[in-house]
């Protein structure tokens, strides 16, 4: 526990407050974070000198006394680029320091490891120039479908077939800006904390559904990584003893009932008409296809059972469901609520809100932005989110 750690921590907390509540006063920051006024003044000055934070005069409040200074993140001060590497695509988004996306794009990707650093370097350069700003790139955050060590080594990414890749070093040498890397599920959770539905919630459970089901435990204001970094792989909670086989090799995983391929397969099996995308699944449900609605309802029940377990373990104020789940809310929510009623401890579930977040569909790839922002605003050196 070092001294600079406190500074890092405080700086992050202050930046976070300014971002989620533009035009706050220093006084408010003091009240809400408990950090001393001198420290807030000093750190705000530091941010202000770096050009990261602006002081704006605020409309008169009709109160006596010196008016407050409204503090905001300067949108022109620099760009953060979020990169999301998936099985066959790479997504990019450039955002200002306040996290508001400026532009984004997706590019096809063949998964070749030896070219990816150059591909991403070019992609980042392009997205930055497309923004039409000559502001500096302050950080690049790379969200990866696999597990990372503290040192920035990607241990294993099944969908990419990569293993033991020192991603931070690799991308750092190809890019000019500081590189931050992290697991996709955890990065997405961080994005929810910074920009989404979980802003400023100290404890929440995040579940994400797509080609697989991932997740993260956000505890005490930070992602819980566990001793091995594997913690939070919530897609593999067992929900049905001796249930369906999952791509991970085990059986009865939540993922085997909820991820897009599993739902598609089930619908295909029951109707003889295999959906080609999650969008199609939702379209068929919207068109009142009873089989599809039934499959989604069943998935909701299984999901609700998993959430009930999580509620009983963590008693979190918030459970956030992202990815494909957001667009399926009308078909999932009733079953989830039923399961919670039936399975979760009443005195716990009353304190828990379950929400479906649109963030990852409305503005995708923000996970990487969150990763980088977390590092950049600490007034400190890079790190990794395993």
Partner DNA sequence: GATATTTTTCTTGTTTTGAGAATAATTCAT
Partner DNA sequence: ATGAATTATTCTCAAAACAAGAAAAATATC
Interface positions with DNA (CB under 7 A): 1-4, 6-7, 10, 25-28, 35-39, 41-45, 57, 60, 62-69
Build a one-symbol-per-residue string for 146-175: x at contacts with a copy of itself by CB under 8 A, - elsewhere.
------------------------------
Residues 252-271 binding a copy of itself (CB under 8 A) are 252-253
- By CB under 8 A, tell whether 202 contacts a copy of itself: yes
Residues 28-87 binding a copy of itself (CB under 8 A) are 35
E strands, the chain, in order: 53-57, 69-73, 79-85, 89-96, 101-108, 137-144, 147-148, 154-157, 162-165, 179-183, 204-209, 213-219, 222-223, 318-323, 353-356
| Closest to 184 in 3D by CA, of 223, 136, 154, 142 | 142
**Nearer of residues 27 and 342 to DNA, judged by Cβ:** 27
- By CB under 8 A, tell whether 129 contacts a copy of itself: no
Rounded distance between C-alpha atoms, residue 366 and residue 142, angstroms: 10
Rounded distance between C-alpha atoms, residue 71 and residue 33, angstroms: 15
**Residue 374 interaction partner, one of a copy of itself, DNA, none, beta carbon < 5-8 Å per kind:** none
**Residue 4 interaction partner, one of a copy of itself, DNA, none, beta carbon < 5-8 Å per kind:** DNA
Size of the site for a copy of itself (CB under 8 A): 50
Dihedral (Cα; 286, 289, 295, 297), 10-degree rounding: 50
CA distances from 49 to 44, 77, 212, 302 (A): 9, 11, 44, 52
**Residue 17 interaction partner, one of a copy of itself, DNA, none, beta carbon < 5-8 Å per kind:** none
**Residue 217 interaction partner, one of a copy of itself, DNA, none, beta carbon < 5-8 Å per kind:** a copy of itself
**Residue 308 interaction partner, one of a copy of itself, DNA, none, beta carbon < 5-8 Å per kind:** a copy of itself
CA 251-338-361 angle, to 5 degrees, is 70
**Residue 337 interaction partner, one of DNA, a copy of itself, none, beta carbon < 5-8 Å per kind:** none
- By CB under 8 A, tell whether 250 contacts a copy of itself: yes
Helix, strand, coil tally for the chain in percent (to 5): 45, 25, 35
Antiparallel, parallel or unpaired: β 353-356 and 318-323? parallel
Residues 349-378 binding a copy of itself (CB under 8 A) are 351
Site of tokens 């990763």: 371
- By CB under 8 A, tell whether 298 contacts a copy of itself: no
């Amino acid at each position: 526990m070092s001294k600079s750690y406190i500074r890092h921590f405080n700086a992050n907390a202050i930046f976070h407050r300014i971002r989620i509540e533009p035009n706050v006063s220093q006084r408010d920051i003091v009240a809400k974070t408990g950090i001393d006024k001198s420290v807030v003044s000093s750190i705000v000055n530091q941010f202000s000198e770096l050009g990261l934070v602006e002081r704006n005069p605020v409309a008169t409040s009709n109160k006596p006394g010196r008016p407050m200074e409204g503090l905001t993140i300067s949108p022109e001060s620099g760009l953060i680029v979020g990169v999301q590497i998936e099985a066959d695509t790479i997504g990019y988004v450039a955002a200002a320091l306040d996290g508001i996306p400026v532009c984004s794009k997706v590019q096809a990707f063949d998964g070749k490891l030896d070219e990816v650093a150059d591909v991403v370097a070019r992609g980042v350069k392009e997205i930055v120039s497309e923004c039409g700003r000559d502001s500096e790139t302050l950080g690049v955050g790379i969200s990866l479908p696999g597990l990372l060590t503290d040192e920035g080594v990607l241990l294993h990414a099944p969908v990419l077939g990569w293993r033991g890749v020192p991603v931070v070093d690799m991308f750092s040498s190809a890019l000019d800006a500081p590189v931050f890397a992290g697991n996709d599920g955890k990065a997405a959770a961080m994005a929810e904390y910074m920009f989404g539905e979980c802003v400023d919630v100290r404890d929440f459970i995040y579940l994400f559904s797509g080609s697989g089901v991932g997740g993260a435990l956000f505890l005490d204001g930070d992602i819980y990584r566990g001793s091995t970094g594997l913690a939070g792989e919530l897609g593999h909670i067992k929900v049905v003893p001796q249930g369906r086989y999952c791509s991970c090799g085990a059986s009865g995983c939540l993922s085997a009932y909820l991820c897009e391929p599993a739902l598609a397969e089930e619908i295909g099996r029951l109707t003889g008409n295999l959906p080609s995308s999650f969008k199609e699944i939702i379209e068929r449900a919207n068109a009142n296809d009873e089989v599809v609605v039934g499959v989604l309802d069943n998935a909701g029940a299984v999901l609700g059972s998993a959430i009930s377990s999580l509620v009983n373990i963590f008693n979190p104020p918030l459970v956030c469901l992202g990815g494909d789940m957001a667009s399926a809310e009308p078909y999932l929510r009733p079953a989830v609520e039923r399961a919670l009623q039936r399975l979760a401890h009443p005195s716990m579930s009353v304190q828990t809100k379950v929400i479906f977040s649109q963030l990852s569909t409305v503005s995708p790839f923000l996970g990487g932005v969150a990763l980088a922002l977390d590092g950049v605003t600490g007034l400190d050196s890079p790190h990794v989110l395993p």
